[in-house]
Amino acid sequence: MATFGTLSDRLTSTFSALRTKGKLSPADVDGTVREIRRALLDADVALPVVKDFTAAVRERALGDEVNKALNPAQQVVQIVNDELVGILGGEQRRLQFAKTPPTVIMLAGLQGAGKTTLAGKLAKWLKADGHTPILVAADLQRPNAVQQLQVVGEQAGVAVYAPEPGNGVGDPVKVAKNAIKHARDKQHDVVIVDTAGRLGVDAELMKQAANIRKAVDPDEVLFVIDAMIGQDAVSTAKAFQEGVDFTGVVLSKLDGDARGGAALSVASITGRPIMFASTGEGLDDFEPFHPDRMASRILDLGDILTLIEQAQKSFDEEDAKRTAEKFATDSFTLEDFLAQMQQLKSMGSLKGMLGMLPGARGMKDQLENFDEGELTRTEAIIQSMTPKERQLPKLLNGSRRLRIARGSGTTVTEVNALVNRFEQAAKMMKTMAKGGMPQMPGMGPMPGMGGGGGAATARKAAAKKKGKGKSRSGNPAKRAAEEAARAQGLGSGAGAGASGSSFGLGGGAPAGDKQPTAEELEALQKFLGR
């Protein structure tokens, strides 16, 4: 997540220096805590929060839980992770719905925080969850605020209650009050009230917001705050808490490149939980806030559960089964490849998804240089083929490839590269479908993730290896199994993955070498259908 990128880089760099130490001295702990303090202050985290945070980390790091740990550096990372979860609110807090509909949700915050767009995001998220929300245009002061909400509502596919034109015309308290009756009449079970903001906190803003709250008696008052606002985040949150009060916080613009650490302070300073986060400009760039998952992202330990949830929303279970059968029977075609790629695109930004993998900060340069337009070019190439060519790639001779390149606005080299990638992917997935675990470029074996058939194949390959030195099979699947067996033989049994990153990925390990939790493994195995 870009907003916390600098903080994440600083913290992971600090922890990497600890890995070489078998035991931590008080001086090591003090040095680490000092670096953590600097990183938090540079990220704009409020000073009182930084003091409490570093004091708690230091006390625990000097205690017995680190002194007696087999891996002291990993234990320190776990302590920092626990304390980060604490300042982010501890546990996730869900929306409280009214026993008798409609549930009323009031949005408050400064002008420019992104309330109107966020109202549409929240409405779309609720609609996808089976609710029938309605947006209420109670911001009658900002120019064209009513029209903007109507556009956002249309994009989200939800109704908008806007009886007044706005632009200084109309009574927002009356609009909000009448909206409740309108929602009951039209059987909307959630009412989202978009209120006016100001460029700064003033008495008039607070009075109007307080009057709207009194008139509609909301079940939730969500304070929307710009994650890039800096130290003003704390003073603004305090002012709204005293003037209107709120039940939860929504962080907007978490995709920005500012330091953004002040957002970490809001939950701790106000005692109100962060409930949602807006992670981009699109209406789908919105997610419930999980303190533990956000802490893991900041420490570069990955966020596998969120990644799986996004995948489950986009991939149909029946389609996945049919695709798996095609992999196993060698009938996977470029048409299927195109369909899978389009489903992948529907999940959102690939950079964002890759950023949720453990150790993603170590691939920072690769992620920044990753061209998401490559998927669009791949689509164009496949769509420039005839149906028969998509079914039988072997038909693609030189003249056909030239035609496809011209039709898709690409080069013959790009067409050749796509066909080669498809053939490699098909072979790899066929191996996986039969229970094997192929060796992927730049990635070590994945202990515990292969099926029984893959393990048996690996054992046979290992047995053959003893008598035949380092011979390599000509069969790709068999060769992959042999290489996996050789790699496992160099590790230390079940703990081989511990020296690498989470899930046994090769390369630089993320901070603390965090292993996947039982919950993450269960969710991942369920998603993979194992």
d(CA 209, CA 196): 8
The pLDDT value given to residue 413: 93
Work out the pLDDT band at 498, boundaries 50, 70, 90: very low
- Does pLDDT of 390 surpass 80? yes
Binding site for GTP, by residue number, is: 109-116, 194-198, 252-255
The pLDDT value given to residue 480: 53
CATH number of 2-87: 1.20.120.140
| Mean pLDDT within 76-105 | 88
Q: Give the SS3 label for residue 465.
A: helix
The pLDDT value given to residue 221: 95
The pLDDT value given to residue 220: 95
- Does pLDDT of 386 surpass 50? yes
Work out the pLDDT band at 195, boundaries 50, 70, 90: very high
Q: 288 φ, ψ to 5°?
A: -60, 145
Give the tokens for residue 57: 């980390």
Q: 173-186 pLDDT, tens per residue? A: 999 999 999 999 99
CB count within 10 Å of CB 59 equals 12
Q: Among the listed ranges 249-258, 288-297, 416-425, which one has the minimum average pLDDT value?
A: 249-258
Q: 201-235 pLDDT, tens per residue? A: 778 878 888 999 999 999 999 999 887 776 777 78
Of the two residues 282 and 332, the one the predictor is more confident about is 282
Work out the pLDDT band at 293, boundaries 50, 70, 90: confident
The number of residues making up the chain comes to 530
d(CA 376, CA 373): 5
d(CA 197, CA 176): 15
Is 487 buried (19+), middle (13-18) or exposed (0-12) by CB count in 10 A?
Answer: middle
CB count within 10 Å of CB 8 equals 23
| Mean pLDDT within 347-370 | 57
| Mean pLDDT within 69-90 | 81
d(CA 6, CA 347): 26
Asked: is 313-433 a CATH 1.10.260.30 domain? The reply is: yes
SS3 per-residue string spanning 302-371 = CCHHHHHHHHHHHCCHHHHHHHHHHHHHCCCCHHHHHHHHHHHHHCCCHHHHHCCCCCHHHHHHHHHHCC
The pLDDT value given to residue 321: 67
- Does pLDDT of 445 surpass 50? no
The pLDDT value given to residue 214: 92
Q: Among the listed ranges 77-91, 302-316, 465-479, which one has the minimum average pLDDT value?
A: 465-479
Work out the pLDDT band at 393, boundaries 50, 70, 90: confident
Work out the pLDDT band at 192, boundaries 50, 70, 90: very high
Q: 151-180 pLDDT, tens per residue? A: 999 999 999 999 999 888 899 999 999 999
Q: Which fold has domain 103-299?
A: Rossmann fold (3.40.50)
The percent of residues above 70 in pLDDT, for the chain, comes to 65
Alpha helices of 17-110 — where are they, by DSSP H? 26-42, 47-61, 64-67, 72-87
| Mean pLDDT within 53-75 | 80
- Does pLDDT of 121 surpass 90? yes
| Mean pLDDT within 95-121 | 92
- Does pLDDT of 465 surpass 50? no
The pLDDT value given to residue 222: 95
- Does pLDDT of 147 surpass 80? yes
Domain edges within the chain: 2-87, 103-299, 313-433
Q: Which residues pair with 108 in a beta bridge?
A: 223
The pLDDT value given to residue 503: 30
Q: Among the listed ranges 299-303, 331-335, 521-525, which one has the minimum average pLDDT value?
A: 521-525
**Which segments within 196-318 are labelled E, that is strand?**
220-226, 248-252, 274-278, 286-288
Place of tokens 């493994």: 521
- Does pLDDT of 384 surpass 50? yes
Q: 242 φ, ψ to 5°?
A: -75, -35
Work out the pLDDT band at 463, boundaries 50, 70, 90: very low
**133: Cβ contacts below 8 Å, ≥ 6 apart:** 122, 123, 126, 127, 158, 159, 188, 189, 190, 191, 192
Q: Among the listed ranges 69-73, 149-153, 274-278, 458-462, which one has the minimum average pLDDT value?
A: 458-462
d(CA 378, CA 236): 47
Q: What is the mean pLDDT of the chain?
A: 75
- Return the sign of the alpha-carbon dihedral for residues 210, 215, 219, 222: negative
pTM above 0.85, yes or no: no
Q: 229-275 pLDDT, tens per residue? A: 767 777 888 888 888 889 999 988 776 544 556 667 888 888 899 99
The pLDDT value given to residue 500: 35
- Does pLDDT of 471 surpass 80? no
Of the two residues 144 and 294, the one the predictor is more confident about is 144
The pLDDT value given to residue 450: 39
- Does pLDDT of 325 surpass 60? yes
Binding site, by residue number, is: 109-116, 194-198, 252-255
CA distance from start to end of the chain: 30
The pLDDT value given to residue 314: 58
The pLDDT value given to residue 441: 44
- Does pLDDT of 65 surpass 50? yes
Q: Among the listed ranges 1-5, 28-32, 145-149, which one has the minimum average pLDDT value?
A: 1-5
